Structure 1
C-alpha cells in the first residue's frame, strides 16, 4: 500500500517535526536545572527550530501534503501546529490561497495590496515597507492573533463568524469546507492544550523561554519573507521573487532557495524545483530578475541589490549589477 504521496524522502521532514516536539518537551523539563547559559542556548535553539519549521517544513507541507491518507496529513497538521504555535491549516489558507494568488503584489487603485503579507502593503511611494516594522511589527500582530485564539477556548476553538478573512479563504464546496474548518479547530485545540502542558511542566520556561523564542522565530520568518521579495518586480510573474542557488543551503532546506521557481509552480514538490527552473529557463532569462548571493534570512547583507520594481515604474532604481539575471543553479 502506498503511504507517501510523492517520495519517502518526506520522512526527513516528518522526522524533524517529531524531533522538534521532543526537544521542546525536553527543554521545558530541564529548565529548572539548567544554567543561565543553558537557558539562553535552549531558547535560541527553540527559536531556530520554530523558524525552520515555518519557513521549510510546514511551508512545504501546506503546498504538497506528504501522505496519501487524509488522516495522516491531519495528524501532521496537528503536530506542527504545536511546533509552530499556530494552525497549519490556517497558515495554508493565508499562504497558499492568499500569498500565492497575489504574489507580493504592489498596492492597487484602492491603495492596498491583495497579498496580506506583501512587503509593499505599508510602504510609501510604491516602495517596500521598512524592514523593522515589517519584521517586528508583523511578529507582534501574530502574537496578538494567537492570544485571541487562546480566548477561542470558550467556543472550543471553532472558526467564528467574525473571522471573515479566514472564512473567505476556506473552500466554498462542501464537505471540503467543513473538513478544512474542523482541521483548523483541531490545530487550535492542539496548540492551546500544548501551552497548558508546557505551563504545567514549567510556567517559568513557558514565560521566559517559549514565548521569547516564538517571538524571535516569527521575526526571523518575516525577515525571510521580506528578502525573498525585496527589490523584485511585482509586475512580472517570472521576476516577482528572489532565488538563491547555494548548494549547501538548498540541501539543508529542501530547495527553499528556489523561490522564484516556487512562485511559478507552487504546487510542485520540493524535489523537482530544479526541473521547474530548467523548464522555465527561457522565461526566466527574458528579463532582469534578482538572484541573491546569500540566503533570504541574510538578505540584508546583499547591499547592492537593485530595486527592479522602481525601474519598472520608471523610477530611479539602479541598473542590475552583473550576475543579476536568471542565474544558474550550480
Structure 2
C-alpha cells in the first residue's frame, strides 16, 4: 500500500505566516480600538492615525501579496483569509484581485487610446492630454471611485452582497470558466458581507469612533494607496516591458515591506512570490539596465520628494507638446 504524502499547508512558503499574523493582528487591533478608544481629540486622533497606517499597509503589502499568491493550498483557508482581509481593507479582497491582477497587470498603466485607458488605475486615465494626470486630479477621481465602490457594496445588501447585473466591470473581469466564475463571484459576495458585518460590529462598539476615526481613516488610506500607485508608475514607459514601473531598492524598506520596492520586477513576473523578487531582479538585470528605466531614490508613497524625476517628466512633456 502506497502512503500519500500529506498535503502541504503553505502554497509557497511558511514565511507567509508572518503576513497571516499581520492580517489577524490588524483585525483584532481595529476591534480593540473601536471598543477602547476614549473620547477626546488626542486619543481619537492617535487611533485614526493607527487605523490609517494599518489599512494603507494592508492594502499595499499584506493584501497585495495575498491576491497575487494566496497563502494556502486549501481554497477554503484562502477563502477565510479573503473574508478577514476584506474587513481589514474596507473592500472586497476578491474584487481587488480582479481589478488589480486581471486589469492593472494586463495593461500596465497604459496611455490613453480612444479617449481613455484600459487600465482602470492608470496614471494617464484622468489626464486632459497625453501625459500623466496631475497628482491632485488622479487622487480626487480615484477617491470618488472608491467612495462609489463603497456605496455599491452597501447597496448590494439587497442582493445579499451579490454582484448585480449593472456591475459590468467586475463581471467582465471574472473568469469565463463557469466553475471558476461561480467561485470568484461567490467569494466576492462573502467578502462584501464580511466587510459590512465588520463595519456594523465597529459601529455597535462605538458609532462615534466609526464616524470620527474609522471612515476618515479609510478615505485617507485609500488616498495614500493611490499616491503610492501614482509614483510607482510616474515617469515610467508604459510601452516597455522592462521600464513600465518604478523600483526602490532600500534594504530597510524592502525588509519592512516584503520586497515591495521591487516593483518593476513584480510587473515582469507578477506570479513570482515575494521571497523570489530579488532573483527576478538578478535574472533580468542586464535588460533592465539597458531599458533606461526609472529607479526611485525615495519610497513611492513620498515620490513627490523625487524632484529630479518630476522635473524630467515636465521637460519631456514640454518638448513633446505641440506649439501653437
**Coarse TM-score class (shorter-chain normalised):** over 0.9
Deviation track 1:179-212 (CA, whole Å, cap 9, x = no partner) reads: 0000000000000111111111111011111000
Tell me the distance in 2 between the aligned counterparts of 1:107 and 1:156.
Answer: 36
Write out aligned runs for 1:160-175 (5 A).
Answer: 160-175=164-179
Aligned to 1:106: 111
Structure 2 CA distance for aligned equivalents of residues 55 and 217 of structure 1: 10
CA contact under 8 A between 2:56 and 2:225: conserved in structure 1? yes
Q: Displacement of 1:144 after TM fit?
A: 2.1
CA distance in 1, matches of 2:207, 2:143: 22
Does the alignment pair 1:125 with 2:129? yes
1:59-138 to 2 correspondences below 5 Å: 59-108=64-113, 110-138=114-142
Tell me how far 1:149 sits from its aligned partner. 1.1
**134-143 or 175-184: bigger deviation:** 134-143
Q: Determine if contact 1:232/1:308 at 8 Å carries over to the other structure.
A: no
Structure 1: how far apart are the matches of 2:128 and 2:185? 36
Deviation, 1:287, is: 2.2
Secondary structure at the aligned position of 1:8 is classed as: coil
Equivalent of 2:276 in 259, 266, 272: 272
Residue 9 of structure 1 pairs with residue 15 of structure 2: yes
Gaps of 5+ in 2: 1-5
Compute the displacement of 1:142 (Å).
0.4
CA distance in 1, matches of 2:181, 2:141: 31
Contact 1:243 1:291 in 2 (8 A): yes
> How many corresponding residue pairs?
314
- Please point out which of 180, 203, 209 is paired with 2:207: 203
| TM-score with structure 2 setting the length | 0.94
Partner of 1:327: none
Aligned mates of 1:137, 1:70 — CA distance in 2: 35
Name the counterpart of 1:325: none
Runs of 5+ unmatched residues, structure 1: 317-330
Change (3 A) 1:62 1:313: farther
Q: Structure 1 length as normaliser, TM-score?
A: 0.92
Alpha carbons 2:243, 2:264 under 8 Å: kept: yes
The alignment status of 1:55 with 2:60, answered yes or no, reads: yes
For residues 314-325 of structure 1, the aligned pairs below 5 Å read 315=320
Classify 1:83/1:51 alpha carbon distance in 2 versus 1 (closer, same or farther; 3 Å).
same
Alpha-carbon RMSD: 1.6
1:24 corresponds to which residue? 30
Residues in 1 aligned to 2:263 and 2:315: alpha-carbon distance in whole angstroms: 21
Name the counterpart of 1:227.
231
The answer to whether the 8 A contact 1:46-1:213 is kept is: yes
State the Cα deviation string for residues 95-143 of structure 1 (Å, max 9, x = none).
00000000000012x1211101100011133111111121233123202
2:161 to 137, 157, 169: 157
Q: Determine helix, strand or coil for the equivalent of 2:233.
A: coil
CA contact (8 A) 2:56 2:222 kept: yes
